[in-house]
Chains A and B, each alone.
Chain A
Amino acid sequence: MSDILKARISDIKTALEELHQAFQERDMAALQQGAVRIDNQLRQILQQLDQDTHAIQDIAERAKGADERMPLSRRYREVLEAYDRYVQPMTELIDPFAGGSFYPLLEDAERVLESLSQQLHNQGGLYSHQVLLRQVGFRVKDLRETGRLALNQCTNILMPLREEIRRHNHLSAAIGQLLGDVRKKGLRRTFPQKSLPVWRKERPVSVAIGAELLTLMEQVRHYQPKAVNFPEQTVEEMQIPLERVDEDSIRKHLYQNLPVLDLMQWLVNHYGYYQDATLLKLYHKFIRLPDISTSPTTDETQISLKKVRIRLHSHTLEAL
Protein backbone atom coordinates (compact mmCIF):
# COMPACT_ATOMS: atom_id res chain seq x y z
CA MET A 1 0.00 0.00 0.00
CA SER A 2 2.81 2.34 0.77
CA ASP A 3 4.12 1.58 -2.69
CA ILE A 4 0.94 2.96 -4.22
CA LEU A 5 1.34 5.99 -2.06
CA LYS A 6 4.90 6.40 -3.22
CA ALA A 7 3.79 6.23 -6.84
CA ARG A 8 1.14 8.85 -6.21
CA ILE A 9 3.66 11.06 -4.49
CA SER A 10 6.06 10.92 -7.38
CA ASP A 11 3.16 11.67 -9.72
CA ILE A 12 2.30 14.73 -7.68
CA LYS A 13 5.95 15.74 -7.87
CA THR A 14 5.96 15.61 -11.67
CA ALA A 15 2.62 17.38 -11.82
CA LEU A 16 4.00 20.18 -9.67
CA GLU A 17 6.94 20.60 -11.99
CA GLU A 18 4.63 20.69 -14.99
CA LEU A 19 2.44 23.19 -13.20
CA HIS A 20 5.43 25.38 -12.64
CA GLN A 21 6.45 25.06 -16.28
CA ALA A 22 2.95 25.75 -17.54
CA PHE A 23 2.82 28.88 -15.45
CA GLN A 24 6.05 30.17 -16.87
CA GLU A 25 4.87 29.41 -20.40
CA ARG A 26 1.59 31.09 -19.64
CA ASP A 27 -0.19 27.92 -20.77
CA MET A 28 -3.32 28.29 -18.74
CA ALA A 29 -4.88 25.11 -20.12
CA ALA A 30 -1.86 23.07 -18.97
CA LEU A 31 -1.94 24.86 -15.61
CA GLN A 32 -5.54 23.92 -15.14
CA GLN A 33 -4.86 20.36 -16.23
CA GLY A 34 -1.92 20.01 -13.84
CA ALA A 35 -3.93 21.40 -10.93
CA VAL A 36 -6.75 18.99 -11.61
CA ARG A 37 -4.25 16.12 -11.79
CA ILE A 38 -2.74 16.99 -8.41
CA ASP A 39 -6.18 17.44 -6.96
CA ASN A 40 -7.16 14.01 -8.22
CA GLN A 41 -4.14 12.31 -6.77
CA LEU A 42 -4.66 14.02 -3.42
CA ARG A 43 -8.24 12.88 -3.33
CA GLN A 44 -7.21 9.36 -4.13
CA ILE A 45 -4.67 9.39 -1.34
CA LEU A 46 -7.22 10.68 1.12
CA GLN A 47 -9.63 8.00 0.08
CA GLN A 48 -7.01 5.34 0.38
CA LEU A 49 -5.99 6.46 3.84
CA ASP A 50 -9.60 6.32 4.89
CA GLN A 51 -10.00 2.82 3.52
CA ASP A 52 -6.78 1.64 5.11
CA THR A 53 -7.81 2.94 8.49
CA HIS A 54 -11.05 1.04 8.24
CA ALA A 55 -9.27 -2.10 7.11
CA ILE A 56 -6.94 -1.94 10.09
CA GLN A 57 -9.81 -1.38 12.45
CA ASP A 58 -11.43 -4.51 11.03
CA ILE A 59 -8.24 -6.51 11.52
CA ALA A 60 -7.98 -5.43 15.14
CA GLU A 61 -11.59 -6.26 15.80
CA ARG A 62 -11.25 -9.66 14.22
CA ALA A 63 -8.21 -10.40 16.38
CA LYS A 64 -9.92 -9.28 19.54
CA GLY A 65 -13.12 -11.10 18.76
CA ALA A 66 -11.52 -14.32 17.66
CA ASP A 67 -11.95 -17.44 19.71
CA GLU A 68 -9.72 -17.27 22.74
CA ARG A 69 -8.81 -20.89 22.40
CA MET A 70 -7.38 -20.24 18.97
CA PRO A 71 -3.59 -20.35 19.13
CA LEU A 72 -2.20 -16.93 19.81
CA SER A 73 0.06 -16.82 16.81
CA ARG A 74 -2.83 -17.50 14.44
CA ARG A 75 -5.14 -15.13 16.20
CA TYR A 76 -2.80 -12.21 15.96
CA ARG A 77 -1.08 -13.04 12.72
CA GLU A 78 -3.08 -10.47 10.77
CA VAL A 79 -2.33 -7.84 13.34
CA LEU A 80 1.39 -8.42 13.17
CA GLU A 81 1.32 -8.53 9.40
CA ALA A 82 -0.70 -5.33 9.15
CA TYR A 83 1.72 -3.66 11.45
CA ASP A 84 4.83 -4.81 9.68
CA ARG A 85 3.53 -4.32 6.15
CA TYR A 86 1.50 -1.19 6.54
CA VAL A 87 1.96 0.87 9.66
CA GLN A 88 5.70 0.60 9.75
CA PRO A 89 6.35 1.59 6.09
CA MET A 90 3.71 4.27 6.31
CA THR A 91 5.36 5.67 9.38
CA GLU A 92 8.65 5.70 7.61
CA LEU A 93 7.07 7.45 4.67
CA ILE A 94 4.95 9.95 6.53
CA ASP A 95 6.82 10.65 9.72
CA PRO A 96 9.03 13.66 9.02
CA PHE A 97 11.30 12.74 11.92
CA ALA A 98 11.95 9.34 10.37
CA GLY A 99 13.11 11.01 7.16
CA GLY A 100 9.81 10.42 5.35
CA SER A 101 9.39 12.14 2.02
CA PHE A 102 5.65 12.70 2.33
CA TYR A 103 5.55 15.85 4.41
CA PRO A 104 8.39 17.67 2.70
CA LEU A 105 6.56 17.01 -0.56
CA LEU A 106 3.26 18.29 0.75
CA GLU A 107 4.92 21.35 2.19
CA ASP A 108 6.60 21.87 -1.12
CA ALA A 109 3.33 21.53 -3.00
CA GLU A 110 1.63 23.90 -0.64
CA ARG A 111 4.34 26.47 -1.13
CA VAL A 112 4.29 26.17 -4.92
CA LEU A 113 0.53 26.38 -5.13
CA GLU A 114 0.48 29.34 -2.79
CA SER A 115 3.06 31.28 -4.76
CA LEU A 116 1.45 30.43 -8.11
CA SER A 117 -1.91 31.55 -6.90
CA GLN A 118 -0.35 34.77 -5.60
CA GLN A 119 1.47 35.41 -8.87
CA LEU A 120 -1.68 34.70 -10.85
CA HIS A 121 -3.48 37.19 -8.67
CA ASN A 122 -0.79 39.81 -9.20
CA GLN A 123 -0.76 39.27 -12.93
CA GLY A 124 -4.49 39.47 -13.07
CA GLY A 125 -5.12 35.91 -14.17
CA LEU A 126 -8.50 34.33 -14.42
CA TYR A 127 -10.32 34.20 -11.12
CA SER A 128 -11.41 30.63 -11.73
CA HIS A 129 -7.75 29.60 -12.10
CA GLN A 130 -6.87 31.30 -8.84
CA VAL A 131 -9.72 29.53 -7.11
CA LEU A 132 -8.65 26.21 -8.56
CA LEU A 133 -5.09 26.60 -7.32
CA ARG A 134 -6.27 27.70 -3.92
CA GLN A 135 -8.60 24.73 -3.70
CA VAL A 136 -5.81 22.35 -4.45
CA GLY A 137 -3.76 24.14 -1.80
CA PHE A 138 -6.50 23.54 0.77
CA ARG A 139 -6.64 19.92 -0.15
CA VAL A 140 -2.93 19.59 0.43
CA LYS A 141 -3.38 21.10 3.89
CA ASP A 142 -6.24 18.72 4.49
CA LEU A 143 -4.13 15.77 3.48
CA ARG A 144 -1.31 16.79 5.79
CA GLU A 145 -3.70 16.77 8.69
CA THR A 146 -5.65 13.68 7.65
CA GLY A 147 -2.52 11.68 6.92
CA ARG A 148 -1.16 12.35 10.37
CA LEU A 149 -4.44 11.47 11.99
CA ALA A 150 -4.90 8.29 9.99
CA LEU A 151 -1.46 7.06 10.83
CA ASN A 152 -1.94 7.90 14.46
CA GLN A 153 -5.19 6.05 14.51
CA CYS A 154 -3.72 2.97 12.89
CA THR A 155 -0.83 2.95 15.29
CA ASN A 156 -3.13 3.40 18.25
CA ILE A 157 -5.28 0.51 17.17
CA LEU A 158 -2.52 -1.92 16.42
CA MET A 159 0.09 -0.91 18.97
CA PRO A 160 -1.70 -2.28 22.09
CA LEU A 161 -2.32 -5.59 20.38
CA ARG A 162 1.25 -5.76 19.19
CA GLU A 163 2.48 -4.80 22.64
CA GLU A 164 0.31 -7.48 24.16
CA ILE A 165 1.98 -10.10 22.00
CA ARG A 166 5.37 -8.71 22.76
CA ARG A 167 4.64 -8.92 26.48
CA HIS A 168 3.37 -12.43 26.03
CA ASN A 169 6.51 -13.34 24.13
CA HIS A 170 8.74 -11.69 26.72
CA LEU A 171 7.09 -13.55 29.55
CA SER A 172 7.14 -16.84 27.77
CA ALA A 173 10.81 -16.37 26.91
CA ALA A 174 11.62 -15.43 30.50
CA ILE A 175 9.82 -18.48 31.84
CA GLY A 176 11.54 -20.71 29.33
CA GLN A 177 14.89 -19.36 30.38
CA LEU A 178 14.20 -19.77 34.10
CA LEU A 179 12.87 -23.29 33.64
CA GLY A 180 16.08 -24.10 31.82
CA ASP A 181 17.96 -22.88 34.87
CA VAL A 182 15.77 -24.94 37.17
CA ARG A 183 16.52 -28.04 35.14
CA LYS A 184 20.24 -27.33 35.17
CA LYS A 185 20.88 -26.14 38.68
CA GLY A 186 17.72 -26.75 40.63
CA LEU A 187 14.90 -24.62 41.92
CA ARG A 188 16.67 -23.43 45.01
CA ARG A 189 19.55 -21.94 43.10
CA THR A 190 17.35 -20.38 40.45
CA PHE A 191 15.30 -18.40 42.92
CA PRO A 192 17.26 -16.66 45.60
CA GLN A 193 15.06 -16.84 48.68
CA LYS A 194 14.88 -13.10 49.09
CA SER A 195 13.44 -12.40 45.69
CA LEU A 196 10.37 -14.63 45.94
CA PRO A 197 7.10 -13.16 47.10
CA VAL A 198 6.51 -13.99 50.72
CA TRP A 199 3.74 -13.32 53.17
CA ARG A 200 3.39 -13.55 56.86
CA LYS A 201 0.47 -14.50 58.96
CA GLU A 202 0.11 -12.28 61.98
CA ARG A 203 -1.11 -14.40 64.83
CA PRO A 204 -2.61 -12.34 67.59
CA VAL A 205 -1.73 -13.81 70.95
CA SER A 206 -4.80 -13.96 73.14
CA VAL A 207 -5.54 -15.61 76.41
CA ALA A 208 -8.99 -17.02 76.89
CA ILE A 209 -10.45 -18.53 80.01
CA GLY A 210 -11.64 -22.02 79.34
CA ALA A 211 -14.70 -23.60 80.83
CA GLU A 212 -12.60 -25.84 83.06
CA LEU A 213 -10.95 -22.85 84.63
CA LEU A 214 -14.30 -21.21 85.29
CA THR A 215 -15.54 -24.35 87.03
CA LEU A 216 -12.41 -24.42 89.07
CA MET A 217 -12.80 -20.80 90.08
CA GLU A 218 -16.42 -21.40 91.01
CA GLN A 219 -15.30 -24.22 93.24
CA VAL A 220 -12.67 -22.03 94.82
CA ARG A 221 -15.18 -19.35 95.57
CA HIS A 222 -17.39 -21.74 97.47
CA TYR A 223 -14.59 -23.50 99.17
CA GLN A 224 -15.27 -24.58 102.70
CA PRO A 225 -12.57 -26.33 104.60
CA LYS A 226 -13.45 -29.81 105.84
CA ALA A 227 -13.34 -30.05 109.60
CA VAL A 228 -10.84 -32.64 110.67
CA ASN A 229 -10.35 -33.26 114.37
CA PHE A 230 -6.81 -33.33 115.39
CA PRO A 231 -6.09 -36.74 116.89
CA GLU A 232 -5.65 -36.74 120.62
CA GLN A 233 -2.57 -38.23 122.12
CA THR A 234 -3.22 -41.82 123.04
CA VAL A 235 -2.01 -43.10 126.31
CA GLU A 236 -2.55 -46.77 125.61
CA GLU A 237 0.58 -48.76 125.81
CA MET A 238 1.76 -50.51 122.74
CA GLN A 239 0.51 -54.03 122.43
CA ILE A 240 3.86 -55.30 121.36
CA PRO A 241 6.74 -53.45 122.85
CA LEU A 242 9.66 -53.05 120.55
CA GLU A 243 12.76 -54.97 121.27
CA ARG A 244 16.16 -55.27 119.76
CA VAL A 245 16.88 -58.56 118.15
CA ASP A 246 20.29 -59.34 116.75
CA GLU A 247 19.16 -61.77 114.09
CA ASP A 248 22.60 -62.23 112.58
CA SER A 249 24.16 -63.47 115.80
CA ILE A 250 21.24 -65.79 116.51
CA ARG A 251 21.58 -67.25 113.05
CA LYS A 252 25.30 -67.77 113.55
CA HIS A 253 24.56 -69.43 116.87
CA LEU A 254 22.09 -71.69 115.08
CA TYR A 255 24.61 -72.65 112.42
CA GLN A 256 27.08 -73.63 115.15
CA ASN A 257 24.49 -75.85 116.84
CA LEU A 258 23.48 -77.75 113.73
CA PRO A 259 21.95 -80.22 113.50
CA VAL A 260 19.03 -79.10 115.64
CA LEU A 261 16.41 -81.69 116.27
CA ASP A 262 13.63 -79.40 117.37
CA LEU A 263 14.00 -75.78 116.25
CA MET A 264 11.18 -74.44 118.44
CA GLN A 265 12.61 -76.13 121.46
CA TRP A 266 16.04 -74.76 120.65
CA LEU A 267 14.74 -71.23 120.33
CA VAL A 268 12.86 -71.44 123.58
CA ASN A 269 15.93 -72.88 125.34
CA HIS A 270 18.35 -70.23 124.20
CA TYR A 271 16.19 -67.17 123.49
CA GLY A 272 13.11 -67.73 125.60
CA TYR A 273 13.43 -64.28 127.00
CA TYR A 274 12.19 -62.71 123.74
CA GLN A 275 8.51 -62.10 123.18
CA ASP A 276 6.40 -64.86 121.67
CA ALA A 277 5.95 -63.00 118.39
CA THR A 278 9.68 -62.56 118.00
CA LEU A 279 10.32 -66.25 118.59
CA LEU A 280 7.68 -67.26 116.06
CA LYS A 281 9.10 -64.83 113.53
CA LEU A 282 12.58 -66.23 114.00
CA TYR A 283 11.22 -69.77 113.69
CA HIS A 284 9.61 -69.00 110.32
CA LYS A 285 12.67 -67.24 109.05
CA PHE A 286 15.03 -70.03 109.96
CA ILE A 287 13.02 -72.83 108.37
CA ARG A 288 13.33 -70.91 105.10
CA LEU A 289 17.09 -70.45 105.20
CA PRO A 290 18.35 -71.51 101.80
CA ASP A 291 21.51 -73.35 102.90
CA ILE A 292 19.86 -75.55 105.53
CA SER A 293 17.77 -78.66 105.04
CA THR A 294 14.57 -78.53 107.07
CA SER A 295 11.93 -81.11 107.64
CA PRO A 296 8.96 -81.13 109.98
CA THR A 297 8.87 -83.97 112.54
CA THR A 298 6.07 -86.44 112.39
CA ASP A 299 5.23 -86.08 116.10
CA GLU A 300 3.18 -83.21 117.31
CA THR A 301 4.69 -81.35 120.23
CA GLN A 302 3.34 -78.75 122.57
CA ILE A 303 5.43 -75.88 123.78
CA SER A 304 4.39 -73.17 126.20
CA LEU A 305 5.71 -69.79 125.34
CA LYS A 306 5.33 -66.76 127.53
CA LYS A 307 1.74 -66.01 126.76
CA VAL A 308 0.60 -68.70 124.39
CA ARG A 309 0.95 -72.38 124.10
CA ILE A 310 1.48 -73.74 120.64
CA ARG A 311 1.12 -77.12 119.09
CA LEU A 312 3.29 -77.85 116.14
CA HIS A 313 5.22 -80.33 114.14
CA SER A 314 8.48 -78.65 114.89
CA HIS A 315 11.20 -78.67 112.26
CA THR A 316 14.48 -80.49 112.37
CA LEU A 317 17.40 -78.60 110.91
CA GLU A 318 20.50 -80.13 109.36
CA ALA A 319 23.36 -78.68 107.46
CA LEU A 320 23.23 -79.45 103.75
Chain B
Amino acid sequence: MTIDLKQLPQLQPLFKLLSSGAHLNRLQDSELWVELENHQSQYETLFAALGFSLVLDGRGYAYFKTDQASAYTGKLTRRLALLLMLLFEYQADQGLHLFQFQQWQLDTPLINKLHIHYHAILEAEEITSPQTIKEILDSAARIGFLVLEDGAYRLLPAVHRYLDLFQELAQAERNDPIQTEDDAEDTL
Protein backbone atom coordinates (compact mmCIF):
# COMPACT_ATOMS: atom_id res chain seq x y z
CA MET B 1 0.00 0.00 0.00
CA THR B 2 1.32 3.36 -0.99
CA ILE B 3 0.55 6.15 1.38
CA ASP B 4 0.77 9.65 0.09
CA LEU B 5 1.79 11.68 3.07
CA LYS B 6 0.67 14.85 1.34
CA GLN B 7 -2.89 13.61 1.72
CA LEU B 8 -2.48 13.30 5.46
CA PRO B 9 -1.87 16.89 6.50
CA GLN B 10 -2.95 16.24 10.09
CA LEU B 11 -0.58 13.35 10.61
CA GLN B 12 1.66 15.22 12.97
CA PRO B 13 -0.96 16.54 15.42
CA LEU B 14 -2.81 13.22 15.28
CA PHE B 15 0.25 11.22 16.09
CA LYS B 16 1.30 13.62 18.78
CA LEU B 17 -2.07 13.33 20.49
CA LEU B 18 -2.47 9.59 20.16
CA SER B 19 1.08 8.68 21.05
CA SER B 20 0.79 10.71 24.23
CA GLY B 21 -1.62 8.02 25.34
CA ALA B 22 -4.64 10.29 24.98
CA HIS B 23 -7.99 9.53 23.42
CA LEU B 24 -9.20 11.43 20.40
CA ASN B 25 -12.81 12.45 20.92
CA ARG B 26 -15.09 13.22 18.04
CA LEU B 27 -16.72 16.25 19.55
CA GLN B 28 -13.62 17.69 21.20
CA ASP B 29 -11.24 17.37 18.29
CA SER B 30 -13.69 17.26 15.41
CA GLU B 31 -11.17 18.41 12.84
CA LEU B 32 -8.74 15.62 13.64
CA TRP B 33 -11.56 13.15 13.91
CA VAL B 34 -12.89 13.91 10.44
CA GLU B 35 -9.40 13.64 9.06
CA LEU B 36 -8.87 10.30 10.78
CA GLU B 37 -12.19 8.94 9.60
CA ASN B 38 -11.67 10.05 6.02
CA HIS B 39 -8.31 8.34 5.75
CA GLN B 40 -8.83 5.62 8.29
CA SER B 41 -7.14 2.79 6.41
CA GLN B 42 -4.10 4.88 5.53
CA TYR B 43 -3.64 5.98 9.10
CA GLU B 44 -4.16 2.47 10.40
CA THR B 45 -1.54 1.10 8.07
CA LEU B 46 0.91 3.87 8.78
CA PHE B 47 0.54 3.61 12.54
CA ALA B 48 0.68 -0.18 12.44
CA ALA B 49 3.99 0.06 10.61
CA LEU B 50 5.25 2.22 13.46
CA GLY B 51 4.09 -0.37 15.96
CA PHE B 52 0.87 1.30 17.12
CA SER B 53 -2.48 -0.34 16.94
CA LEU B 54 -5.14 2.26 16.23
CA VAL B 55 -8.62 1.62 17.56
CA LEU B 56 -11.41 3.76 16.18
CA ASP B 57 -14.72 3.30 17.94
CA GLY B 58 -17.90 4.34 16.19
CA ARG B 59 -19.19 5.87 19.39
CA GLY B 60 -16.78 8.71 18.87
CA TYR B 61 -13.31 8.02 20.19
CA ALA B 62 -9.99 6.67 18.99
CA TYR B 63 -6.80 5.60 20.73
CA PHE B 64 -3.66 3.53 20.48
CA LYS B 65 -4.25 0.16 22.03
CA THR B 66 -1.56 -1.13 24.33
CA ASP B 67 -1.25 -3.82 26.95
CA GLN B 68 1.72 -2.35 28.70
CA ALA B 69 1.06 -0.01 31.51
CA SER B 70 3.31 1.72 33.95
CA ALA B 71 2.70 1.27 37.65
CA TYR B 72 1.27 4.76 37.71
CA THR B 73 -1.17 4.09 34.89
CA GLY B 74 -2.22 0.82 36.47
CA LYS B 75 -3.13 2.56 39.68
CA LEU B 76 -4.84 5.44 37.94
CA THR B 77 -6.98 3.28 35.67
CA ARG B 78 -8.15 1.20 38.61
CA ARG B 79 -9.05 4.25 40.65
CA LEU B 80 -10.78 5.82 37.68
CA ALA B 81 -12.78 2.63 37.19
CA LEU B 82 -13.91 2.85 40.79
CA LEU B 83 -14.85 6.51 40.53
CA LEU B 84 -16.81 5.93 37.35
CA MET B 85 -18.71 3.06 38.92
CA LEU B 86 -19.58 5.14 41.96
CA LEU B 87 -20.61 8.07 39.79
CA PHE B 88 -22.80 5.91 37.58
CA GLU B 89 -24.42 4.20 40.51
CA TYR B 90 -25.08 7.52 42.16
CA GLN B 91 -26.57 9.01 39.01
CA ALA B 92 -28.70 5.93 38.41
CA ASP B 93 -30.04 6.31 41.93
CA GLN B 94 -30.97 9.88 41.04
CA GLY B 95 -32.97 8.46 38.16
CA LEU B 96 -30.65 9.73 35.45
CA HIS B 97 -30.22 7.94 32.19
CA LEU B 98 -26.79 6.31 32.31
CA PHE B 99 -26.13 6.47 28.60
CA GLN B 100 -26.59 10.21 28.60
CA PHE B 101 -23.47 10.53 30.72
CA GLN B 102 -21.99 13.08 28.35
CA GLN B 103 -24.53 15.61 29.57
CA TRP B 104 -23.67 15.31 33.23
CA GLN B 105 -21.94 18.17 34.98
CA LEU B 106 -19.42 16.74 37.36
CA ASP B 107 -18.95 19.81 39.52
CA THR B 108 -17.60 20.37 43.01
CA PRO B 109 -20.93 19.85 44.84
CA LEU B 110 -21.40 16.53 43.05
CA ILE B 111 -17.83 15.45 43.82
CA ASN B 112 -18.37 16.33 47.46
CA LYS B 113 -21.59 14.33 47.49
CA LEU B 114 -19.81 11.34 46.01
CA HIS B 115 -17.10 11.65 48.59
CA ILE B 116 -19.59 11.69 51.45
CA HIS B 117 -21.85 9.04 50.01
CA TYR B 118 -19.10 6.53 49.25
CA HIS B 119 -16.73 7.53 52.00
CA ALA B 120 -15.87 4.00 53.14
CA ILE B 121 -15.19 2.45 49.77
CA LEU B 122 -13.10 5.44 48.69
CA GLU B 123 -11.14 5.38 51.91
CA ALA B 124 -10.19 1.77 51.24
CA GLU B 125 -8.48 2.95 48.07
CA GLU B 126 -6.76 5.82 49.86
CA ILE B 127 -8.97 8.39 48.21
CA THR B 128 -9.48 10.43 51.30
CA SER B 129 -10.63 13.82 50.12
CA PRO B 130 -12.59 15.50 47.32
CA GLN B 131 -9.23 16.94 46.32
CA THR B 132 -7.87 13.46 45.61
CA ILE B 133 -10.92 12.73 43.49
CA LYS B 134 -10.25 15.89 41.53
CA GLU B 135 -6.64 14.91 41.03
CA ILE B 136 -7.72 11.58 39.57
CA LEU B 137 -10.21 13.33 37.32
CA ASP B 138 -7.53 15.79 36.24
CA SER B 139 -5.25 12.95 35.24
CA ALA B 140 -8.10 11.31 33.36
CA ALA B 141 -8.83 14.60 31.63
CA ARG B 142 -5.27 14.71 30.33
CA ILE B 143 -5.83 11.46 28.43
CA GLY B 144 -9.22 12.34 27.05
CA PHE B 145 -11.70 10.53 29.26
CA LEU B 146 -13.07 13.79 30.57
CA VAL B 147 -12.91 17.44 29.85
CA LEU B 148 -12.80 20.27 32.36
CA GLU B 149 -15.06 23.13 31.41
CA ASP B 150 -15.87 26.10 33.60
CA GLY B 151 -14.85 24.30 36.75
CA ALA B 152 -16.94 21.21 36.04
CA TYR B 153 -15.85 17.93 34.48
CA ARG B 154 -17.78 16.35 31.67
CA LEU B 155 -17.40 12.73 30.64
CA LEU B 156 -16.36 12.03 27.07
CA PRO B 157 -17.31 9.09 24.84
CA ALA B 158 -14.03 7.32 25.63
CA VAL B 159 -15.64 6.40 28.95
CA HIS B 160 -17.41 3.68 26.97
CA ARG B 161 -14.20 1.69 27.32
CA TYR B 162 -14.93 1.37 31.01
CA LEU B 163 -18.67 0.82 30.58
CA ASP B 164 -18.03 -2.01 28.14
CA LEU B 165 -15.63 -3.54 30.61
CA PHE B 166 -18.11 -3.29 33.48
CA GLN B 167 -20.76 -5.13 31.51
CA GLU B 168 -18.31 -7.68 30.23
CA LEU B 169 -16.98 -8.48 33.69
CA ALA B 170 -20.42 -8.62 35.26
CA GLN B 171 -21.62 -10.86 32.46
CA ALA B 172 -18.63 -13.16 32.84
CA GLU B 173 -19.21 -13.40 36.55
CA ARG B 174 -22.89 -14.16 36.13
CA ASN B 175 -22.08 -16.94 33.71
CA ASP B 176 -19.32 -18.49 35.72
CA PRO B 177 -18.93 -17.09 39.23
CA ILE B 178 -16.37 -19.65 40.37
CA GLN B 179 -14.11 -19.16 37.39
CA THR B 180 -13.84 -15.41 37.85
CA GLU B 181 -13.06 -15.82 41.51
CA ASP B 182 -10.17 -18.03 40.53
CA ASP B 183 -8.99 -15.50 37.99
CA ALA B 184 -9.05 -12.85 40.63
CA GLU B 185 -6.90 -15.03 42.85
CA ASP B 186 -4.42 -15.52 40.05
CA THR B 187 -3.81 -11.86 39.59
CA LEU B 188 -2.75 -11.37 43.16
- Residues of A participating in the B interface, judged by any CB pair closer than 8 Å: 68-75, 164, 167-168, 170-179, 181-183, 185-202
Contact = CB atoms under 8 A, between A and B. Distances in A.
5 contacts: A70-B95, A177-B170, A187-B125, A198-B66, A200-B69
Interface in B139-188: 143, 161-163, 165-171, 173-174, 183-188
Contacts of B128: none
A162 to B, nearest CB: 13
Nearest to B96: A72
A174 B97 contact: no
B73 A189 contact: no
Contacts, number: 135
Contacts of A195: 165, 168-169
A170 B163 CA distance: 11
B73 A199 contact: yes
Given A72-B97, A188-B188, A189-B187, A178 B78 contact: no
Interface stretch (B3-11, B82-90, B106-114): B82-90
B144 to A, nearest CB: 9
Interface in B65-93: 66-70, 73-74, 77-79, 81-82, 85-86, 88-89, 92
B30 interface: no
B118 to A, nearest CB: 9
Contacts of B78: 187-188, 191, 193, 196
Given A75-B97, A188-B188, A199-B73, 20 more contacts: A71-B94, A171-B99, A171-B163, A172-B89, A175-B166, A177-B170, A182-B82, A182-B121, A183-B121, A187-B124, A190-B169, A194-B187, A195-B169, A197-B161, A198-B66, A198-B67, A198-B69, A198-B74, A199-B69, A202-B21
